[in-house]
With several copies, the nearest count.
Chain A
Amino acid sequence: MDLKGQSFSWCVGGAQGSGVDSAANLFARACAFGGFHVFGNREYYSNIIGEHSYFEVRISDEPVLGHTSSVDLLTTFDAETPFLHLDQISEGGALLYDASLVDVPLEKLPTIEPRAKQDLAKMFDEHGLPHTLDAIIQLARQRNISLHAIPYEDVLKADDALGQLPFSTLKRMVNTMSVAASFALIGYDFSYFHKALEAIFQSKPKVVEMNAKAAQLAFDYTKKEMGEPTLPQLKPLEVNEPRVYINGNQAVGLGKLAGGCSVQTYYPISPATDESTFLEQHQSFDVEQGDDGSILVLQTGDEIAAICSAIGAALTGARAATSTSSPGFSLMAEGLGWAGINETPVVVTLYQRGGPSTGLPTRSEQADTQFALNIGHGEFPRIVLASGDLEEAFYDAIRIFNYAEKYQTPAIHLLDKALANFGKTFSYFDLSKVEIERGALLKDSQLTAGADFNRFSFQENGISPRSVLGQPGGRTWYSGDEHLEDGHMSEDPINRDRMMEKRAQKLVVALEEIPTEDQYTLHGPSDAETTLVSYGSPKGALLEAIQRLNSSGHAVNYLQARLLSPFPAQAFTEILSKSKLKIGIEANFSGQFSQWVQQHTCVKMEHLVVKYNGRPITVDEVEAAVLNILSGNAPQKVVLRHGI
């Protein structure tokens, strides 16, 4: 077997709380230490302990953009994972499993979903197989998947020292062992594993020691038992630059710190909370001059308070944000409208998750698109900026404060659970690429203490110089009611019209000023006959898919939107008019972003490719869907259904 396109996909699964995340972390770091680029995708239930979770790690000698539907090595240490993930193992791939579990009956696994259980049972019956894990092994064998059984407990028990330990302690090490065994299978330099182990458990030398021992046993056992390697044998690469492995929550958190966000409010909600926790951990940080690097993180009583407190803070001149996910965002509708009419630069970081309602709290979806674009009664300008990958997420987290302040309007940074939990290796971020632009924020010296001030003065570009609360000479009244230039309430119809027009004008200006490359990007051949239209987290999958498609002779490009509001309608109209076949691709049911494009351009997307099972779109899915559409046999709406 070959390293397809230089990439190798590994997956570990298991019950929540049983060490899946640590295993993945270990694997990813060890790969990164060895110079590989790493991309991770994390899947888990809305549950603390016991339900099935898994982590896919894809590595390559080039930056990895997305994840694939299949995995080359499925690493397991429980019975459930092989049942659920068998189908995912690639042609020529491998399965690592706990030899002691082969007799575990399907019916005894309470966390397998009833539908999955039924389907599996039916399939076993059709193949005349027992309802045990052994059936999976047999099916894998039929598919020529190379099988690696490792009796974790026996291996440990066989060790003089470790064998003495209680079973509960031993059990906590099988995850580490599974990683070690994985490395044996891909012939990786084991010293990187040790480096990773130490890095992760720095403060717990005993843990390191014990796990290292157990890992060595698993590594040796596997080496001994595996026979000829069937998987690609990975050789470490040279790295000449420092790299980090970070996920989306961290990327955004870092961006906020860099962007000068000094107040973050939040109410806990998956998958947004980790960003706030990251900020709490870094509430004090080093700055170039002086010692005032700090951020106030305020846990509020609910999301209504979160948005309102963030606005209150923004009025004082602090860069203020709140971070939430879909249900929390629903509660911010009214607050956002207030910020809109009061021209307040407040940032909302929105991690969309599977909806509607509580929905699929730990799964991903892009189903709040139209909601974010239309949230709040009445009409007010808003910036909606969507990142497609973690690098964009970082830089956008800085930029969005600039936009919010320059156009004095609420700004939504649109992300999703996929991005929050995707992880990726990066070179160190380069802050010289970004600027802090505070727009028409007045300095004390530009104001006269005690004098009258019109916070909402009419200006041609709609942007009024802004004072902040407590500033001498900038005295202002803010009101959610329609108001005069000084902020006092007014129901005068003529003033009303002017204020509406003033506020709307800001977005016209924003569209002129924001660099095109921050508005949208046309990836791939600009003259391709087929154009994929999308925004947000599918970016990685789309980029790699169009590479594949173009390599295989299909001229396909990909129009990625970043700035959803104000929307570059004219540019989209022009680009799309050049294309023969427009395909909207997004992770929701109704193709919300495509509808947004249609509403503004009246250019029809001939096909929609959508996914709404809560699992992020993979490279393979995009490729297959586009080929299917190009073949002319696809329905108008193609639904992607990969996912476990």
Chain B
Amino acid sequence: MAFNVADYKTSVHNNWCPGCGDFGILNAIQMSLMDMQLDPERVTVFSGVGCSSKTPHYINTYGVHTLHGRVLPFATGGKLANPEMTVLAVGGDGDGLGIGAGHFVATGRLNLDITYIMFNNGVYGLTKGQASPTLHLGQQTKSLPNPNIIHEINPLILALSSGYTFIARGYAYDVAQLKALIRQGIEHPGLSFIDILQPCPTYNNINTRDWFGGADRKGEDGKAMPRVYKLDPNLYDPLISAETTDEEIHQKIAAFFAKATEWGDQIPSGVLLQNLTQSTYEERVIESLPKYKKNPPAKRQIESDNKPVLKINTILDELRVA
């Protein structure tokens, strides 16, 4: 049975603003699922709360639209209980790096096999355009009464420090690249993070589609020189594998750092890091609890004819006093 892209779409009316970057991301997710021919009923898309977090309602898989900032813990519980499911987590920059920053870090440490896609628009969209954690210091978008006095966070570097083993950046209007990145993220065995530059035409009048596209920077040929560029695989190798030496790792981290901090006129996109040397959380569980592999929590049989299956006496014997 082959799934086509329509199989990943719902009929729910999409109420994002016209021109919102979210549309591109939504398409890319749907296309990557199709690309991989993932059975929509075996996929769950979790989200937080925000414009971007409405995404699951538009994707015809299982969808879990959770709480503001809590997408990762929800997704963690779902994935660990049913590891056979493909799990995507999606949400805004406010969701993931504002109220959700603690979970962003904690989940990084687990390296469980989910893919986290962050719609990074520099604002809290759904609450009408306040500065989000990625809005740069000193910038004043439309709805701010004063320039932003809180320093931005760099999502890529935070992901690195938190232990994400696949770190990429995409751009909402480069759906082809995005689709590939999401697929790579899903295929990566471990926790993937994809930071997506997402213009919010309604509230972010600084990092606009024009700005990312370099409409204000015409080259000699009169063409816009886009700010977002793709990492050249010949010049930048994001892979850390068992063969990579410590020395090389340090070099790669330094290169990662250099790329991750590029901003302004040159904004790299593509895979910035893929680390294959870390075990996943699921593997670690199996090490101490081999039964998990065959019978993860969602699949365990807990009753037989409505009676508990636990052999309780075995445990009671340990506690026996008479």
- A-side residues, CB < 8 A to B, are 17, 28-29, 32-33, 35, 38, 45-51, 110-111, 199, 239, 241-246, 250, 254, 257-260, 262-263, 265, 267-270, 273, 277, 280-296, 298-306, 308-320, 327, 334-335, 338, 357-358, 398, 425, 428-429, 431-432, 434-438, 449-450, 468-481, 487-489
Q: Can you identify 23 A-B contacts, CB atoms within 8 angstroms?
A: A38-B321, A258-B312, A260-B302, A262-B81, A268-B127, A268-B128, A277-B143, A280-B146, A284-B291, A286-B314, A300-B106, A305-B103, A317-B298, A318-B82, A318-B298, A334-B70, A428-B313, A434-B308, A435-B303, A436-B302, A475-B41, A480-B66, A489-B65
Q: Which residues of A contact B41 (CB under 8 A)?
A: 449-450, 470-475
Known contacts A49-B15, A305-B73, A334-B67: does B80 contact A263 (CB below 8 Å)?
A: yes
Give the number of chain B interface residues (Cβ < 8 Å).
95
Q: Is the CB of A313 within 8 A of B78?
A: yes
Q: Is the CB of A49 within 8 A of B202?
A: yes
CA distance A357 to B128 in the complex (A): 20
Q: Which residues of B contact A48 (CB under 8 A)?
A: 16-17, 51, 125-126, 128, 202
Q: Is the CB of B145 within 8 A of A280?
A: yes
Instruction: Enumerate B80-125 residues with CB–CB distance to A below 8 Å.
Output: 80-82, 84-85, 94, 98-99, 101-103, 105-106, 124-125
Total contacts A to B, CB within 8 angstroms?
Answer: 327
Q: Is the CB of B308 within 8 A of A258?
A: yes
Known contacts A48-B125, A315-B64, A475-B41: does B313 contact A287 (CB below 8 Å)?
A: no
Is B56 an interface residue, CB under 8 A from the partner? yes
Interface residue stretch chosen among B42-50, B227-235, B249-257? B42-50
Contact of B321 among A33, A110, A429 (CB under 8 A): A33
CA distance A294 to B289 in the complex (A): 8
Residue of A nearest to B322 (CB): A243
Q: Is the CB of A312 within 8 A of B74?
A: yes
Q: Is the CB of B311 within 8 A of A287?
A: yes
Q: Is the CB of A32 within 8 A of B322?
A: yes
Residue among B70, B128, B298 facing the most chain A CB atoms (10 A cut-off): B298
Q: Which residues of A contact B145 (CB under 8 A)?
A: 277, 280-281
CA distance A486 to B23 in the complex (A): 23
Q: Which residues of B contact A241 (CB under 8 A)?
A: 322
CA distance A471 to B302 in the complex (A): 18
Knowing that A243-B322, A305-B73 touch, tell me 18 more A-B residue pairs with CB under 8 angstroms. Answer: A49-B16, A50-B15, A242-B320, A257-B315, A260-B310, A286-B311, A286-B314, A294-B297, A299-B131, A301-B101, A311-B77, A316-B78, A318-B297, A335-B67, A438-B303, A470-B41, A475-B62, A478-B64
Known contacts A280-B146, A285-B311: does B13 contact A110 (CB below 8 Å)?
A: yes
Q: Is the CB of B63 within 8 A of A244?
A: no
CA distance A507 to B278 in the complex (A): 47
Q: Which residues of A contact B67 (CB under 8 A)?
A: 308, 327, 334-335, 338, 357-358, 480
Residue of B nearest to A487 (CB): B63
Q: Which residues of B contact A428 (CB under 8 A)?
A: 312-313, 316
CA distance A320 to B302 in the complex (A): 12
Residue among B16, B54, B80, B307 facing the most chain A CB atoms (10 A cut-off): B80
Contact of B289 among A111, A243, A296, A425 (CB under 8 A): A296
Contact of A292 among B49, B68, B301, B312 (CB under 8 A): B301
Nearest CB on B from A32, distance (A): 4
Q: Which residues of B contact A327 (CB under 8 A)?
A: 67-68
Q: Mark B273-313, 1 if CB is under 8 A from A, else 0.
A: 00000000000010011011011111111111011111111
Known contacts A244-B316, A288-B311, A305-B76: does B292 contact A469 (CB below 8 Å)?
A: no
Q: Is the CB of A319 within 8 A of B302?
A: yes
Nearest CB on B from A1, distance (A): 26
Q: Is the CB of B44 within 8 A of A308?
A: no
CA distance A339 to B141 in the complex (A): 35
Known contacts A244-B321, A301-B105: does B126 contact A46 (CB below 8 Å)?
A: yes
Q: Which residues of A contact B15 (CB under 8 A)?
A: 45, 47, 49-51, 111
CA distance A302 to B291 in the complex (A): 27
Is B57 an interface residue, CB under 8 A from the partner? yes
Residue of B nearest to A280 (CB): B145
Residue of B nearest to A237 (CB): B322
CA distance A475 to B11 in the complex (A): 14
Is B242 an interface residue, CB under 8 A from the partner? no
Nearest CB on B from A443, distance (A): 13
Contact of A398 among B66, B308, B314 (CB under 8 A): B308
Q: Which residues of A contact B44 (CB under 8 A)?
A: 469-470
Q: Is the CB of B102 within 8 A of A431?
A: no
CA distance A335 to B304 in the complex (A): 32
Q: Is the CB of A242 within 8 A of B63?
A: no
Nearest 3 A/B pairs, CB to CB: A312-B77, A260-B302, A301-B106
Known contacts A49-B15, A316-B85, A318-B298: does B309 contact A289 (CB below 8 Å)?
A: yes
CA distance A596 to B286 in the complex (A): 46
Nearest CB on A from B10, distance (A): 8
Q: Is the CB of A111 within 8 A of B13?
A: yes
Q: Is the CB of B84 within 8 A of A470?
A: yes
Nearest CB on A from B235, distance (A): 36
Residue of B nearest to A478 (CB): B64
Residue among B103, B105, B291 facing the most chain A CB atoms (10 A cut-off): B291
CA distance A434 to B300 in the complex (A): 19
Q: Which residues of A contact B304 (CB under 8 A)?
A: 288-289
Known contacts A262-B81, A268-B127, A296-B292: does B74 contact A309 (CB below 8 Å)?
A: yes
Q: Which residues of A contact B70 (CB under 8 A)?
A: 304-305, 308, 334-335
Residue among A32, A110, A257, A475 facing the most chain B CB atoms (10 A cut-off): A475
Is B40 an interface residue, CB under 8 A from the partner? yes
Is B60 an interface residue, CB under 8 A from the partner? yes
Q: Is the CB of B62 within 8 A of A436?
A: no
Nearest CB on B from A398, distance (A): 7
Q: Which residues of B contact A28 (CB under 8 A)?
A: 321
Residue among B62, B306, B320 facing the most chain A CB atoms (10 A cut-off): B62
Q: Which residues of A contact B258 (CB under 8 A)?
A: none
Nearest CB on A from B124, distance (A): 5
Q: Is the CB of A302 within 8 A of B80?
A: no
Known contacts A309-B76, A425-B322: does B300 contact A475 (CB below 8 Å)?
A: no
Residue of A nearest to B127 (CB): A268
Nearest CB on A from B286, distance (A): 11
Q: Is the CB of A316 within 8 A of B82?
A: yes
Residue of B nearest to A45 (CB): B15
Q: Is the CB of B49 within 8 A of A315?
A: no
CA distance A71 to B17 in the complex (A): 30
Known contacts A257-B312, A480-B49, A480-B67: does B78 contact A245 (CB below 8 Å)?
A: no
